[in-house]
């Protein structure tokens, strides 16, 4: 007998994510079907003498920053390649999130996303079997996206790097 699965939920190119265990709500997230693994903005990342990985979600620049230390023994390191081909080694941890009222324990790499429009990138590891993405929907940060594009253009005109 087949087990009935939950119906797939429609989401857009940007949504809001909650972190119930950290009491952080309504964080803008970019939905990226091209990304294999999800990523979250983290700071103060370190392995302490207790053998646990310690980090803080976001940074003082973020309205979502609480300063609370997140600790876990369950972590590893992976190599991540960006869409531009840049390769980075990052810590990967499991975090409980809520997306569209659905609670999901998923893997996230810890990264400095301070220069990104969205502090969270939700990849296929979260989406698969749970969501259908339609880019016409969602809650994009249009103003922040436009500001970021203007900043890129100014940097390029000045001969700077992105």
β-pair partners for 71: 54
Token match 């300063």: residue? 67
Residue 155 host element (H or E): helix 142-157
**Which of the 8 DSSP states describes residue 51?**
S
Angstrom distance (rounded) from CA 125 to CA 46: 25
Distance between CA atoms of 49 and 135, rounded to whole angstroms?
45
pLDDT tens column, 43-52: 999 999 999 9
CB 119 within 8 A of CB 28: yes
Domain 9-157: homologous superfamily in CATH:
Acid Proteases (2.40.70.10)
For residue range 104-162, list pLDDT tens digits in order: 999 999 999 998 889 999 999 999 999 999 988 877 676 666 676 666 566 666 665 55
């Amino acid at each position: 007998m087949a087990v009935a699965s939950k119906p797939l939920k429609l989401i857009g190119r940007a949504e809001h994510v909650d972190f119930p265990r950290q009491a952080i709500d309504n964080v803008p997230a970019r939905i990226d079907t091209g990304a294999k693994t999800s990523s979250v903005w983290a700071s103060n990342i370190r392995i302490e003498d207790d053998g646990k990985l310690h980090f803080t979600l976001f940074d003082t620049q973020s309205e979502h920053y609480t300063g609370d230390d997140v600790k876990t023994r369950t972590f590893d390191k992976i190599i991540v390649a960006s869409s531009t081909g840049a390769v980075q080694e990052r810590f990967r941890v499991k975090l409980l999130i809520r997306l569209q009222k659905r609670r999901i324990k998923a893997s996230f790499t810890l990264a400095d996303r301070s220069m990104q429009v969205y502090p969270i990138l939700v990849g296929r590891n979260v989406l698969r079997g749970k969501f259908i993405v339609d880019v016409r929907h969602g809650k994009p940060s249009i103003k922040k996206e436009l500001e970021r594009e203007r900043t890129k253009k100014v940097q390029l005109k000045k001969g700077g790097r992105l």
